[in-house]
Chains A and B, each alone.
Chain A
Amino acid sequence: MAQLKKLARFRDVMKEVNAKGAALYKNPVGTEDLVILSPYAINYIHSYAEDSPFFLGLARGKIMGSECKACHYRYATPRSHCMNCGAETEWFTLPNEGRVHSWTTCYYGGEEFLKETPFNLALVEFDGVDTLLLARLKGAKEADMFIGMKVKAVFRRPPRYLVSDVHFVPSEKPRKN
């Protein structure tokens, strides 16, 4: 077996472990710690269950919200039972146009999305709907975006059956200033 590299900086240890599978860390306490690579990957068989119509809707180019049959509270991010009164909800189609309720530009992200940075997130509000929808906002720079900005939905073709099958773009061309 090859000699393990002894390294005094933990950052270097991480690099070596990623490359070679193991390394020794000479820590400031004066002992040596054996550090190994320990991979972990899982494929889940995930059912959208009661949320399924929303994702099937995106595949058909529709954003499906849900409305409480009893109190008529309307959800842009659907739920099959009302959080206010507990009654069942029914599906309805949201408009494809809304407004930015809040927004940000992410320059970093979780590992899965790091390669997509920078990207914009927006909470979108719709006329006559009580709750919001979280989505990417594309085609706009940090300086273009503002709360109240009109946005419209764009659907991914072919669908990946993820919430990211819908994203939003500005309804109007960004103003020059």
Chain B
Amino acid sequence: MPGQRKVYMISGGVTKFAKAHPDMDFRLMVKRAFDYAMKDVPDLKTSGIESSRISYFSDHFARQLKAASMVQDYLGLNPKDSRRIEWGGATGGQAIQAGWETVASGRNEVCLVAGFETMSHVETWKGNEFIALASDTNFDYPVGGFYTGYYALMVQRHIYEYLRKTKFAHVKDERKAQREATQEAKRIMAMVSVKNHINANHNPYSQYPEKLSMKEALGREMVAYPLNRPMICTMSDGAAVAILASEDVAFKYTDHPVLIKGVGCGTDTMRLADRPHGSVPLFRWEKAEDYSGLRYPGVHSFRAGRAAALEAYKNAGISDPKKELDFVELHDAYASSEIQTYEDIGLCRYGEGYDFVDQGHPFLEGIEYGLDLPHRGTIPVNPSGGLIACGHPVGATGIMQGVFAFWQLQGSIQKHFGNDKLQIKGAERGLIHSHAGTGSSVTVTIMERA
């Protein structure tokens, strides 16, 4: 990017994400991930780390204010520059960009990005309440604050715009048409769920690896119509760290650093009810006519994701993401938002997300899914298993994606996972995507093999 120094990721570490880690508090979890990352760059000593950006989402979960200072303290990084980063579900993605900024600006040569969440401290439904407090507490929360409900409202409208009005346009009865479109969307969302759970079977860090079949995926209990249990990520304890360095020092510590090629960030209204109904900010390969009559983003698409991708592609010089990216790790808190995100970040046009899955484009080659996938491997999405199968300890999640992408681009999946089933051969460029608050905050970061 113009006017900025090149920034590289030189190492990473992740704790296994789990429902609960009562044997480790947040400081020890981060320490374990940190020690793992430091072992990979033996010439880097703690004294060589000049600053830290430490992320966690919720003070309610932590029940410890200034927990980031306690991490800084525990890792022995005092009295260096540090700050806490919080941006809802996109906390981890934003922490990586905050680390990138301090190195790109020339302020630091080496910055530690570390994140965690300890969600096991409360029961699941109390946890859902905490998360729902990240919606407007005057107008949204008291109606029945529940994030899965909000995403269900969004995907219902997405189905209406992009299946009801197209594939089911021939069905005359409005209610019948809507119901049939929703059934079709459910089938395709279940495919996403199957993909991510099956990928996770080969990722030892994942919380919910499972040989999930379509029948099982479709048969499990409904949480908020049409989203059922396997289409939704769960709560986790976990930590992840990424070490970033300037070009001057990155190659001193590793022969295989990964360039942070471009960063992007976007926002939208906190309340779903306020989302505008305007026109689509276009990628260069899209035309306004493609979307005539579409009122955008409404509640069906994530304008913040589109804005973040536009900025990141511009900064990374990417003109055709489907060709120029080798994989994507995106924020699939819900199978629905994975499909919506394909469209936001230009893996396909708006309206093509369901077909993109049905044709197999985001599935890995060399993995058995029990599905007929004519075009598999075009661009693998969430080869790690994503949030749905890896878990979502919020402050760690976006950094976890960065670490998995880093290992993919280093070609070191075998070393870190103990098997190379998920290694995308010759991967040169990947995208990580972090998303928060019903799409109110999104980051996109492009990483490239150096």
Contact = CB atoms under 8 A, between A and B. Distances in A.
Contacts of B131: 110
Given A132-B272, A134-B271, A147-B157, A110 B146 contact: yes
B112 interface: no
Given A25-B22, A131-B273, A146-B175, A113 B145 contact: yes
A109 B273 contact: no
Contacts of A142: 225
A109 B129 CA distance: 8
A27 interface: yes
A13 interface: yes
Contact of B174 (A79, A132, A146): A146
B138 interface: yes
Nearest to A48: B138
Contacts of B275: 131
A101 interface: yes
Contacts of A114: 125
A84 to B, nearest CB: 8
A65 to B, nearest CB: 11
A13 B121 CA distance: 12
B70 interface: no
Contacts of A48: 138
Interface in A4-63: 10, 13-14, 25, 27, 29, 31, 33, 35, 38, 40, 48, 51
Given A40-B63, A77-B271, A123-B272, A134 B128 contact: no
Contacts of B273: 76-77, 123, 131-134
B101 interface: no
Q: Is the interface of A mostly helix, strand, loop or mixed?
A: mixed
B140 interface: yes
Contact of A27 (B22, B139, B226): B22
Nearest to A100: B156
A94 interface: no
A43 to B, nearest CB: 14
A104 B160 contact: no
B128 A109 contact: yes
B371 interface: no
A162 B142 contact: yes
A163 B138 contact: yes
Contact of A147 (B123, B140, B154, B160): B160
Contacts of B178: 146-147
Interface string A58-83: 00000000000000000111010001
Interface stretch (B43-51, B190-198, B216-224, B307-315): B216-224
Residue in A109, A135, A162 whose Cβ sees the most chain B Cβ within 10 Å: A109
Contact of B19 (A10, A83, A103, A134): A10
B146 A10 contact: no
Contacts of A132: 272-274, 299
Q: Is the interface of B mostly helix, strand, loop or mixed?
A: helix
A25 B20 CA distance: 11
Nearest to B300: A102
B144 A116 contact: yes
Interface in B118-145: 120, 123, 125-126, 128-132, 138-140, 142-145
A109 B130 CA distance: 11
Contacts of B271: 77, 134
B214 interface: no
Contact of B152 (A104, A110, A131, A164): A104
A131 B120 CA distance: 37
A33 B24 CA distance: 9
B349 to A, nearest CB: 22
Interface in B178-213: 178
Contacts of B156: 102-104, 147
A149 to B, nearest CB: 9
Contacts of A147: 156-157, 160, 164, 178
Residue in A104, A113, A136 whose Cβ sees the most chain B Cβ within 10 Å: A104
Nearest to A105: B225
B143 A111 contact: no
B23 A119 contact: no
B277 interface: yes
A121 B143 contact: yes
Contact of A119 (B139, B144, B222, B274): B144
B351 to A, nearest CB: 17
A31 B139 CA distance: 46
Interface string B213-239: 000000001111110000000000000
Interface of B: 19-20, 22-23, 63, 120, 123, 125-126, 128-132, 138-140, 142-146, 148-150, 152-154, 156-157, 160, 164, 174-175, 178, 221-226, 269, 271-277, 299
Given A101-B157, A107-B224, A147-B156, 9 more contacts: A35-B22, A77-B271, A106-B149, A113-B146, A121-B150, A122-B153, A146-B175, A147-B178, A163-B138
13 contacts: A27-B22, A51-B139, A77-B273, A102-B156, A103-B153, A104-B226, A107-B221, A108-B148, A109-B145, A110-B144, A112-B129, A136-B144, A146-B178
